[in-house]
């Protein structure tokens, strides 16, 4: 009886082992969710939050400005046995020509033994075709995997991270305005010989002193370094008693030959002069005509159309 049960036990063990071993052999030769290579698209900086919105600013005279610059790569869930090529597709509702969308490569290639491709860059900087639309607008931009090509088996799309979807917002065109600008360190000031503090003054931003004389009308010139559209000036003085009562303004293309804008009556410690029309010039000259016993300037600002 004992031998009978012994034989029964051996038969059971053998019978249970054989099917189990056979099943393992089948799994090694069959594709399943555990041995597939799943391909995704990820940002190069995938550890940082993904920016999904870009803003384009539209201003009169300068057009539409902004930049889309995005880097991404194809990634496999495990190292691939053979090269995997992923075709990239970009779609957008932006009303721009296809050649305005710069893609460093149409294909992301994951080399054999690797898990990710080299980075691909999508860049758009030319928005000239949007300039005619003065209103605010919103567009979409998408990057997706179009197809996968490989001689390896078990390579397929992942259910997640198949691509990227972005929103591109363009602001309404902002009209130019006459803005009071004081940027003395960017401009080049030249002062008449004989003025006090020509090299260390608040006008040119080179010191804390005013530019002054004792009852002598003086002049100064400003080189904006490039042609600017201006519509007036504003000067500041210590008090009314130190301010001129008549001045003349000039423009020049070369800083040597000057053309008069006009003669202006002035008063007060803050004096604003607005022109009848905007003027394009690189050089501006300010000439005092009537002055008190002591006259100065503490600040020189310009109304610029921008």
Strand pairing category for 211-213 and 259-265: unpaired
Query: Cα dist. 104→72, 125, 158, 174 in Å?
Result: 11, 14, 23, 33
pLDDT value at position 1? 42
- Tokens 């001045």 — which residue? 247
Rounded mean pLDDT of 30-59? 89
pLDDT of residue 33: 65
For the entire predicted model, the pTM comes to 0.60
Question: Both tokens of residue 195?
Answer: 């003025």
Average pLDDT, the chain: 90
Q: Cα separation of 127 and 65, whole Å? A: 7
Residue with the larger pLDDT of the pair 11 and 289: 289
Residue 283 is predicted with a pLDDT of 98
* pLDDT tens track for 262-289: 999 999 999 999 999 999 999 999 999 9
pLDDT of residue 167: 98
Least trusted range by pLDDT, from 57-61, 68-72, 201-205, 243-247: 57-61
Tell me what pLDDT residue 19 has. 38
- Provide the pLDDT confidence category of residue 12 given band limits of 50, 70 and 90: very low
Q: What was the pLDDT predicted at 34?
A: 72
Model pLDDT for residues 169-183, shown as the tens digit of each residue: 999 999 989 999 999
Provide the pairing of β-strand 53-59 with 68-76.
Answer: unpaired
Q: Which of 2-16, 62-76, 252-266 has the lowest mean pLDDT?
A: 2-16
Q: Is the pLDDT of residue 102 over 80?
A: yes
**Does residue 164 carry a pLDDT above 50?**
yes
Asked which of 12-26, 70-84, 227-241 is least confident by mean pLDDT, the reply is 12-26
Residue 296: exposure state from Cβ atoms within 10 A (0-12, 13-18, ≥19): buried
Read out DSSP for the chain? -HHHHHHHHHHHHHHHHHHHHHHHHHHHHS--TTT-EEEEEEETTTTSPPP-EEEEEEETTTEEE--EEEEEEEEESS--SS-EEEEEEEEE---S-GGGSEES-SEEEE-TT-SB---EEEEE---GGGTT--S-EEEEEEEEEEEEE-SSSSEEE-SS--EEEEEEEEPPPBPP-EEEE--TTTSEEEE-TT-B-SSSBTTTTSSSBPEEESS---EEEEEEEEEEEEEEEEEE-SSGGGS-SEEEEEEESSSSS-EEEEEEE--SSEEEEEEEEEEEEEEEEEEEEE--SSEEESEEEEEEE-
Residues 40/84, Cβ–Cβ less than 8 Å = no
The burial class, CB within 10 Å (0-12 / 13-18 / 19+), for 198 is buried
Band (pLDDT 50/70/90 cuts) for residue 306 is confident
Average pLDDT over residues 198-213: 97
The model's pLDDT over 121-161, given as tens digits with 9 standing for 90+, comes to 999 999 999 999 999 999 999 999 999 999 988 999 999 99
Q: Is the pLDDT of residue 81 over 60?
A: yes
């Amino acid at each position: 009886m004992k031998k009978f049960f012994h034989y029964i036990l051996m038969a059971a063990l053998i019978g249970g082992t054989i099917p189990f071993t056979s099943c393992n052999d089948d799994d090694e030769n069959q594709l399943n969710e555990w041995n597939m290579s799943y391909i995704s698209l990820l940002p190069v900086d995938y550890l940082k939050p993904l920016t999904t919105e870009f803003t384009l600013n539209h201003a009169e005279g300068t057009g539409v400005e902004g930049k889309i610059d995005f880097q991404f790569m194809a990634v496999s869930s495990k190292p691939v046995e053979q090269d995997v090529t992923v075709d990239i597709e970009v779609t957008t509702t932006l009303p721009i020509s296809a050649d305005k969308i710069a893609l460093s490569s149409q294909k992301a290639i994951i080399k054999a033994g690797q898990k990710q491709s080299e980075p691909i860059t999508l860049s758009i900087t030319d928005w000239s075709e949007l300039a005619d639309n003065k209103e605010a607008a919103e567009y979409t931009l998408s990057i997706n995997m179009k197809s996968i090509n490989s001689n390896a088996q078990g390579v397929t799309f992942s259910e997640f991270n198949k691509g990227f979807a972005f929103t591109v917002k363009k602001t309404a065109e902002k009209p130019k305005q006459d803005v009071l600008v004081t940027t003395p360190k960017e401009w080049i000031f030249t002062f008449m010989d004989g003025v006090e503090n020509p090299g260390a003054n608040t006008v040119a931003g080179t010191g804390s002193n005013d530019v002054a004389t004792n009852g002598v009308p003086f002049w100064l010139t400003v080189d904006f370094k490039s042609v600017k559209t201006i519509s007036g000036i504003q000067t500041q003085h210590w008090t009314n008693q130190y301010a001129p009562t008549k001045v003349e303004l000039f423009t020049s293309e070369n800083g040597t030959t000057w053309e008069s804008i006009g003669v202006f009556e002035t008063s007060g410690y803050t004096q604003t002069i607005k022109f009848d029309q905007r003027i394009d010039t690189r050089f501006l000259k300010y000439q005092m005509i009537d002055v008190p016993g002591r006259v100065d300037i503490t600040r020189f600002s310009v109304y610029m159309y921008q």
